[in-house]
Chain A
Amino acid sequence: MTDAASQTEPLLVIDGLSVRYAGRREPAIDAVDLAVLAGERVGVTGRTGAGKSTLALAAGGFIPRVVRAKLAGTVHIDGIDATTLEPAALVGRVGLIFATPANQLSASKQSVREELAFGLENLGVDRAEMETRIDGVLDRLGIAHLADREPFALSGGEQQRVAIASIVAMGTKVLVLDEPTAQVDPAGTADVGALLAELAAEGTAVLCVEHDPTILGAMDRVVVIDGGRVIGIDRPGVALGLSIAQSVGLPSPTMVRLSEIAGVDPANAFDVEAVTKGLLASTPTDTSVPSAEHPGQTWMATRQRSSAALEIDSLVHRYPNGVEAICGVSLSIPAGQSVAILGQNGSGKTTLVKHLNGLLRANAGEVRIDGRATTAERVDQLAATVGFVFQNPDDQLFERSVEREIAFGPRNLGFAATEVTALIERSLKAVGLIAERTTNPYDLDLSRRKLVALASVLAMDPAILVLDEPTTGQDSEGIARVGAVIAAWRAAGRTAIAITHDMEFAATSFERIIVMRLGSVIADGPPAEVLTVANSALLASTGIKPPPIALVAAAAALERTPLDVDGLLTALRARSWNQTPQGPIER
């Protein structure tokens, strides 16, 4: 918190707030009290369906004006009851930012400058004043270089920063964000986080719903909600830890777990050096509550052919505009291997994997599955061998129940009815949606819609499973689910290939990491060798950085990089053992 914050009145005061949607018996949020000071950043986290988005909508004054719902209690913005404010007065005081970057923009503007003007036009600001305010915001928020770019041509992270800037230009004092980095790559997430810090330093009150530990860790306070109620409000190191987050089954971020194991001051929970020092000074044992069990049992194959070797040979792909998206990539992926592909947006990851099931045709080189070129078959025929789960589940869901949705693929492939039934059961179980079999997929939230899409591809029982960003928009529970599916797939000797921005997920769920930059592979090997601090510069060149465990391992000068908390603790214990000459064995 800035010095200014400690002396000021709260800008956002939520008092006894309850919201109930029409047709629901239970309130979405219930008796929530919360105050955010000027210059303060407050994070909101909780499991899917906890009421976070409802809290954001209410804090932004959208309920009941834009979203119909029954509201009790009050929301005061800068001392005024939000429900009494005229729309123009309200948007000048509080701004709301949502998850999908492209949908935050007006969709008609030709330049970022015009995009920033949009809100000002609506408020009736005169043209000369607009120029001054736009220049000011561009400068203050460090996005002046984007001024003349076309908003739709920007990356997700840039679009979110432009969306935030356009709200700030309207003179907003309170900024409410609902998962602003859910669909942004790690570099973009860091930029959004830095922008929020700058705004708070200028006196803006920030309320941010998030799952990302790097964003939450930088907040002044974090609110954990569950079942619509506030479970606790504290510094991130405490709120995300054993006593609050884990009490409602929300897994703690790695740094918080390590800090609690090391017994360091929660204020330093995200400080790698302090946590490492604490770990080295103690005999670390894991005290955290084991997260909900996701049985990583073996996937039960229904077909004889259960694995396939993949050869990518000097693959080149050029877009119609001449840009070379894949510049001669050669990879050999043996049957049964699990591979994570990392790299910043635009590095060619999706273009590469779209060649695996024939969605894209190479300009040169080829992809072979068990020695057979993929160009020999149509996409729908290759689907029997290569299952592809798209990033956006809404590109494929159309049936009226989860069950029917899952049956669609295997039926297309001509599987027998008994086999389809068995595969539906196994897929539903694998993603933990047994209870939702008759639900309409569109009645589920995004994270569960993604699991339905995953199940619908699992049910095709493919030899090779390809996933495009399965963890974006997922809470930690959803990520664990996807991890369990990958584990089951590995156990069955099947190949799994996933594009991901989540370094911890990549390190713990895959045996091989491929890092891409500008259409080429720049690193390839086991996670413990690729995701290391020694590789930091290389990883940073494509917008990623090693996971927190690797940072702690480097600070502790461990020789090998462990992949998870258990591995780290074992390595630390083994080292203190070796380094103690009067160890128990010698006595």
Chain B
Amino acid sequence: MSATTGYFRAGTSWLHRRHPITKLLGVALVLLSAFLLPSLFLLVLLVLLAFVAWSTGLSAPLAGSLRIPALLLTSILVVNALFFPGATDRLVTLGPLAVTREGLSFGLISAGRILVAFLVMVLFLFTTLADDLLEALISRGASHRFAFVVLSAVQMVPRMQTRAASILDAQQARGLPVTGSFRSRVRALVPLIGPVILGSLIDVRERTFALEARGFGARPGRTAYRVVADPPQDRLLRWLLLAAALAVVVIAVTGVAGS
């Protein structure tokens, strides 16, 4: 992973070859389906995403990326299963606590939605070059400021990871214990997060200056040096994705599928 490419993994799979906007529509469709359609549909989405990962040869890195939301997903599940307000249907009793059916079900649905959202966005980042996304957005008429925010967001996490590694080194070298008890790990957070945020602010200032000096956003009629491939079938695919997204919204609003 580098600061330029972010999470991008070079490849020539069918998903890599799609135009960034096509992929963005795909992400939107999956997100809408996950949050608007009946919760059982989450299983369909998870199977679908697993298939996409397999067909693009990205199963292993995708599985590896799951350690990022693992703690969040587990805590959503545990907290809801044990402490869901007003739940009465006890499945398992653990001393003063009990796993409730309502809590478990709500926890599973919430965690499932977050999992689907995470996976689809990671697949997008794995297969889309930040620069292609920037060009695609600007050529579709997005304002350069919006495009820059999207670009920064895509690149922010890898940049912060690189920085966080040096900060971890620097604070350990000042005698900060970062392993051991839960308490010492929590105590280590402020000295680690502080420099990440403050350092990023300094970086942003310098990078903004550099972009200004290169005339970013100086005039509307921007041209493009890099040609972002847009295969003919993508156009059709985009219409299909749009129609599907519309259908999902209609189904959700009219309640055709029940809930």
A-side contacts of B2, CB under 8 Å:
150, 152-153
Partner of B206, one of A103, A130, A456: A103
Cβ of B194 to closest chain A Cβ, rounded Å? 3
Name the residue among A91, A104, A107 with the largest chain B CB count within 10 angstroms.
A107
* B140 CB-CB contact with A under 8 Å: no
A386–B172 alpha-carbon span in the complex (Å): 11
A-side contacts of B210, CB under 8 Å:
98, 103-106, 163
Cβ of A320 to closest chain B Cβ, rounded Å? 12
Partner of B4, one of A91, A152, A457: A152
Chain A minimum-CB-distance residue to B226: A114
Given that A394-B199, A398-B195 are known contacts, is A108 also in contact with B166, CB under 8 Å in the complex? no
Cβ of A411 to closest chain B Cβ, rounded Å? 8
A138–B9 alpha-carbon span in the complex (Å): 29
Cβ of A254 to closest chain B Cβ, rounded Å? 31
Chain A minimum-CB-distance residue to B220: A124
Given that A152-B4, A412-B174 are known contacts, is A122 also in contact with B190, CB under 8 Å in the complex? no
Give the interface segment out of B39-47, B100-108, B126-134, B240-248. Answer: B126-134
* A392 CB-CB contact with B under 8 Å: yes
A384–B196 alpha-carbon span in the complex (Å): 25
A152–B159 alpha-carbon span in the complex (Å): 12
Contact indicator per residue, chain B 184-214, by CB within 8 Å of chain A (1) or not (0): 0000001101110011001100111111111
A88–B212 alpha-carbon span in the complex (Å): 10
Name the residue among B155, B169, B175 with the largest chain A CB count within 10 angstroms.
B175
Given that A124-B221, A152-B2 are known contacts, is A108 also in contact with B171, CB under 8 Å in the complex? no
* B67 CB-CB contact with A under 8 Å: no
Band of interface residues on B: 35 or more
A398–B187 alpha-carbon span in the complex (Å): 14
Contacts of A85-141 to chain B: CB distance below 8 A: 86-88, 90-92, 95-98, 100, 102-110, 114, 117-127, 130
> Are B223 and A91 in touch, CB under 8 angstroms?
no
Partner of B3, one of A102, A167, A383: A102
A163–B169 alpha-carbon span in the complex (Å): 30
> Are A124 and B199 in touch, CB under 8 angstroms?
no
* A390 CB-CB contact with B under 8 Å: yes
Contacts of A303-349 to chain B: CB distance below 8 A: none
> Are B131 and A114 in touch, CB under 8 angstroms?
yes
Given that A91-B218, A103-B207, A398-B191 are known contacts, is A110 also in contact with B176, CB under 8 Å in the complex? no
Partner of A96, one of B5, B134, B209: B209
Chain A minimum-CB-distance residue to B164: A395
> Are B213 and A60 in touch, CB under 8 angstroms?
yes
* A505 CB-CB contact with B under 8 Å: no
> Are A380 and B177 in touch, CB under 8 angstroms?
yes
Chain B minimum-CB-distance residue to A466: B173
* B118 CB-CB contact with A under 8 Å: no
Cβ of B221 to closest chain A Cβ, rounded Å? 4
> Are A395 and B223 in touch, CB under 8 angstroms?
no
Cβ of B228 to closest chain A Cβ, rounded Å? 12
> Are B214 and A119 in touch, CB under 8 angstroms?
yes
> Are A383 and B195 in touch, CB under 8 angstroms?
no
A-side contacts of B5, CB under 8 Å:
110
* B85 CB-CB contact with A under 8 Å: no
Chain B minimum-CB-distance residue to A150: B4
Name the residue among B4, B134, B198 with the largest chain A CB count within 10 angstroms.
B4
Chain A minimum-CB-distance residue to B129: A110
> Are A394 and B202 in touch, CB under 8 angstroms?
yes
A233–B56 alpha-carbon span in the complex (Å): 64
* B222 CB-CB contact with A under 8 Å: yes
A120–B193 alpha-carbon span in the complex (Å): 38
Cβ of A410 to closest chain B Cβ, rounded Å? 8
* A166 CB-CB contact with B under 8 Å: yes
A117–B130 alpha-carbon span in the complex (Å): 16
Name the residue among A66, A102, A396 with the largest chain B CB count within 10 angstroms.
A396
> Are B215 and A123 in touch, CB under 8 angstroms?
yes
Chain A minimum-CB-distance residue to B225: A117
A-side contacts of B214, CB under 8 Å:
91, 106, 118-119, 122, 166-167, 170
Contacts of A354-385 to chain B: CB distance below 8 A: 354, 357, 359, 378-381, 383-384
> Are B174 and A383 in touch, CB under 8 angstroms?
yes
> Are A108 and B223 in touch, CB under 8 angstroms?
no
B-side contacts of A388, CB under 8 Å:
170, 173
Partner of A108, one of B4, B167, B172: B4
Partner of B215, one of A92, A102, A153, A409: A92
Name the residue among B134, B169, B178 with the largest chain A CB count within 10 angstroms.
B169
* A21 CB-CB contact with B under 8 Å: no
> Are B170 and A395 in touch, CB under 8 angstroms?
yes
Given that A102-B3, A118-B214 are known contacts, is A378 also in contact with B198, CB under 8 Å in the complex? no
A-side contacts of B151, CB under 8 Å:
107-108
> Are A456 and B174 in touch, CB under 8 angstroms?
yes
B-side contacts of A456, CB under 8 Å:
174
Name the residue among B178, B212, B225 with the largest chain A CB count within 10 angstroms.
B225
A31–B120 alpha-carbon span in the complex (Å): 58
> Are A395 and B166 in touch, CB under 8 angstroms?
yes
* B163 CB-CB contact with A under 8 Å: yes
A170–B222 alpha-carbon span in the complex (Å): 14
Given that A66-B212, A398-B195 are known contacts, is A152 also in contact with B222, CB under 8 Å in the complex? no
* B216 CB-CB contact with A under 8 Å: yes
Partner of B175, one of A122, A167, A170, A384: A384
> Are B219 and A88 in touch, CB under 8 angstroms?
yes
A-side contacts of B130, CB under 8 Å:
108
Given that A114-B226, A130-B225, A398-B194 are known contacts, is A412 also in contact with B176, CB under 8 Å in the complex? yes
B-side contacts of A98, CB under 8 Å:
206, 209-210
Chain B minimum-CB-distance residue to A94: B213
> Are A114 and B198 in touch, CB under 8 angstroms?
no
> Are B170 and A380 in touch, CB under 8 angstroms?
no
A-side contacts of B215, CB under 8 Å:
87-88, 91-92, 119, 122-123, 170
Cβ of B246 to closest chain A Cβ, rounded Å? 32
A386–B175 alpha-carbon span in the complex (Å): 10
A-B contacts, 29 listed (Cβ < 8 Å): A87-B217, A88-B218, A91-B214, A98-B210, A103-B203, A103-B210, A108-B155, A114-B225, A119-B214, A120-B223, A121-B223, A121-B224, A122-B217, A122-B222, A124-B221, A127-B224, A152-B2, A378-B179, A380-B176, A383-B172, A383-B175, A394-B199, A395-B166, A395-B169, A395-B195, A396-B171, A408-B174, A408-B191, A413-B175
Shortest beta-carbon contacts, A-B, top 3: A398-B194, A412-B175, A117-B225
* Residues of A in contact with B (beta carbons under 8 Å apart): 60, 62, 66, 86-88, 90-92, 95-98, 100, 102-110, 114, 117-127, 130, 150-153, 163, 166-167, 170, 354, 357, 359, 378-381, 383-384, 386-388, 390, 392, 394-399, 408-409, 412-413, 442, 456-457, 460
Beyond the given pairs A107-B3, A126-B223, 5 more chain A to chain B contacts, judged by CB atoms under 8 angstroms and listed by A's residue number, are A91-B215, A97-B213, A108-B131, A152-B2, A392-B199
